[in-house]
């Protein structure tokens, strides 16, 4: 730990102070919180979108045009996520939930299910999950684990074509889950923004919602982002280190 890092201390103290007074805490997470688990982020140089045009693999039109390509993309991510484990950042958020109980909620853009695998209870998957499929004919949604489902999986109930139960671009977020995420942002005293570039909407709009309702906004990221202007405190560094460090300041 070189000298310059210590100047982050005041930020951790301020963030901890805000948490000490809080009764309700909400969190928005993105791919960065899973990076230290070995899940590639989206916009990093070796990111998920590298080598894939968003239009081809994460839009309803792309699925219409080439469902095999889309399933190869998502099967690859399912198999990869099956090999990784939650990291100390996920575990720190589990402990925070134990501190605030029902007053705590995570809205995640991640589809990897690592928050739940770490033990988090209140997790709003605003962009869906790799674990689930949805039948485009009978609409049945089922948890299918993480094994490779092949490039054209069929519905065991009606024989219809299955798609990942994931929110693609140009598709609406699941209404109930999105509503609960917005309410958690409106009602919280402290809002943590962890490992997201905050460029995808409407997910990123929970940040100004929390801010406008008087929450102390704390950003945890490797770098400044589009959300930094709304942050009262920035804890810069790997969230697998900054979140446990912040938690340690609460005990
Ligand atoms: C819709 C599932 C309408 C798929 C995803 C308003 C303004 C501008 C554009 C729009 C707007 N409203 C709508 C749009 C269009 C679009 C959009 O937002 N486009 C963007 C690109 C400009 N939004 C939509 O299409 C949405 N739908 O609008 O529908 C509608 C409404 C009604 C009826 C019909 C239609 C749907 C968007 C959801 C798309 N699906 N995911 C999948 O996962 O495969 S989005 C996907 O990309 C992720 O879920 C996530 O949301 C986003 C990636 O962002 P991050 O997770 O933040 O990852 P990223 O790599 O960018 O950044 C990682 C960060 O972590 C970095 O900051 C890095 O520094 C940091 N980091 C890295 N390592 C660490 C770290 N931090 C800490 N520790 C570390 N170790
Ligand atoms: Zn079906």
Per residue in 134-167, pLDDT tens? 999 999 999 999 999 999 999 999 999 999 999 9
C-beta 224 within 6 A of ligand 1: no
Annotated active-site residue 91? The verdict is no
CA distances from 83 to 19, 80, 116, 146 (A): 34, 5, 16, 10
Which residue of 88, 195, 231 sits with most ligand 1 atoms within 8 Å of its CB, as the best mutation to test the pocket? Answer: 195
Taking 50 as the threshold, does the pLDDT of residue 245 lie above it?
yes
State the pLDDT confidence band at 3, using cuts at 50, 70 and 90: very low
Structural contact between residues 37 and 84, judged by C-beta atoms closer than 8 angstroms? yes
C-beta 109 within 6 A of ligand 1: yes
Per annotation, catalytic residue among 90, 115, 127, 131: 127
pLDDT number for residue 78 = 97
C-beta 57 within 6 A of ligand 1: no
Taking 70 as the threshold, does the pLDDT of residue 42 lie above it?
yes
pLDDT number for residue 1 = 45
Which residue of 38, 41, 76 sits with most ligand 1 atoms within 8 Å of its CB, as the best mutation to test the pocket? Answer: 41
**Higher per-residue pLDDT: 25 or 53:** 25
Least confident of 11-25, 34-48, 95-109, 167-181: 34-48
pTM value is: 0.96
Max CA separation in the chain (angstroms): 63
State the pLDDT confidence band at 59, using cuts at 50, 70 and 90: very high
C-beta 223 within 6 A of ligand 1: yes
Taking 50 as the threshold, does the pLDDT of residue 202 lie above it?
yes
Q: If you average pLDDT over every residue of the chain, what do you get?
A: 94
Q: Record the tokens describing residue 219, joined without a space.
A: 């950003």
User: Per-residue pLDDT tens for 82-113?
Assistant: 999 999 999 999 999 999 999 999 999 999 99
User: Per-residue pLDDT tens for 185-199?
Assistant: 999 999 999 999 999
pLDDT number for residue 8 = 73
């Amino acid at each position: 730990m070189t000298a310059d890092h210590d100047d982050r201390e005041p930020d951790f103290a301020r963030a901890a102070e805000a948490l000490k007074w809080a009764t309700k805490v909400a969190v928005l997470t993105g791919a960065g919180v899973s990076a230290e688990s070995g899940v590639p982020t989206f916009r990093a140089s070796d990111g998920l979108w590298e080598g894939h045009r968003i239009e081809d693999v994460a839009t309803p039109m792309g699925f219409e045009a080439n469902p095999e390509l889309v399933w190869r993309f998502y099967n690859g991510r399912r198999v990869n996520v099956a090999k990784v484990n939650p990291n100390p950042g996920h575990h720190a958020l589990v402990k925070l939930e134990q501190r605030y109980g029902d007053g705590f909620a995570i809205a995640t853009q991640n589809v990897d299910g690592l928050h739940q695998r770490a033990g988090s209870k209140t997790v709003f998957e605003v962009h869906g999950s790799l674990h689930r499929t949805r039948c485009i004919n009978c609409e049945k949604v089922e948890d299918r684990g993480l094994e490779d489902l092949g490039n054209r999986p069929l519905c065991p109930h009606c024989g219809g074509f299955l798609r990942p139960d994931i929110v693609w671009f140009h598709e609406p977020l699941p209404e109930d889950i999105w509503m609960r995420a917005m309410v958690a942002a409106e009602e919280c005293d402290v809002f943590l923004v962890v490992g997201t570039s905050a460029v995808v909407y409407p997910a990123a709009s929970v940040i100004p919602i929390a801010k406008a309702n008087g929450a102390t906004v704390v950003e945890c990221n490797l770098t400044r982002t589009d959300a930094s202007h709304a942050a009262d405190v920035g804890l810069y560094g790997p969230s697998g280190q900054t979140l446990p460090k912040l938690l340690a300041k609460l005990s």
